[in-house]
Amino acid sequence: MLTWKEVINFSVKGNPTPDKRVEKTEAEWRAQLTPEQFRITRHKGTERAHTGELCTAYDEGKYNCVCCNTPLFDSTIKFSSSTGWPSFTQPIKENAIKYEKDTTFGMVRVEVMCNTCDGHLGHVFPDGPEPSGLRYCVNSESMILDKEIA
Ligand SMILES: [Zn+2]
């Protein structure tokens, strides 16, 4: 299980190697995504709280990257945080997520991205429920729910 200490280590010393990489140009991403998905995932945007479709979704399934379809989280690690964004306590796999220190808006936060395509997802905070203590706060627009369980 990942802990805050490991998350900080990834953001400072480098991230785990992803299983594969997906790289596309701005124009290719723009053509593939809706304007809101493009703004959030490729330009580090944030959707308004409580507006995301997946906030209140608790169906079983995997939450995949909307850009490259790589599984990022699943329904077993989703929890209701009342923040207005889908929240998770762990990534589906250690190397699914990429971490980077984010000092915008006068705060020090840890940004989370898809480790496969660098799509912006949201941030991770050390105030989640036990045992990991992590709260991945992720834009609904950055993910698609795949309800088919393998
Ligand atoms: Zn991706």
**Cβ-proximal residues to 27 (8 Å cutoff; 6+ apart), any chain:** none
* Residue 67 CA, ligand 1 centroid: distance in Å: 5
Instruction: Return the DSSP state at 18.
Output: P
| 8 Å CB contact between 101 and 11 | yes
Average pLDDT, the chain: 95
- Annotated catalytic residue 137: yes
Supply the pLDDT for residue 148. 76
* Residue 15 CA, ligand 1 centroid: distance in Å: 15
Distances 39 to 45, 66, 70, 129, 139 between C-alpha atoms, Å: 6, 12, 19, 30, 11
pTM, two decimals, is: 0.94
* Residue 119 CA, ligand 1 centroid: distance in Å: 5
Boundaries of every domain in the chain:
4-13+22-147
Among 36-40, 56-60, 84-88, 109-113, the least confident range: 56-60
* Residue 131 CA, ligand 1 centroid: distance in Å: 27
Supply the pLDDT for residue 150. 52
CATH code for the structural domain at 4-13+22-147: 2.170.150.20
Q: List, for residues 63-84, the tens digit of each pLDDT value.
A: 999 999 999 999 999 999 889 9
Supply the pLDDT for residue 149. 61
Q: List, for residues 14-43, the tens digit of each pLDDT value.
A: 999 999 999 999 999 999 999 999 999 999
Supply the pLDDT for residue 92. 96
**Cβ-proximal residues to 64 (8 Å cutoff; 6+ apart), any chain:** 70, 71, 72, 143, 144, 145, 146
Burial-class residue 134 by CB neighbours within 10 Å (0-12, 13-18, 19+).
buried
Which three-class secondary structure state does DSSP give residue 122?
strand
* Residue 117 CA, ligand 1 centroid: distance in Å: 4
Task: State the pLDDT confidence band at 55, using cuts at 50, 70 and 90.
Answer: confident
Q: What is the mean pLDDT of residues 45-73?
A: 93
Catalytic, out of 65, 68, 114, 137: 137
Q: What is the mean pLDDT of residues 96-103?
A: 96
**Cβ-proximal residues to 25 (8 Å cutoff; 6+ apart), any chain:** none
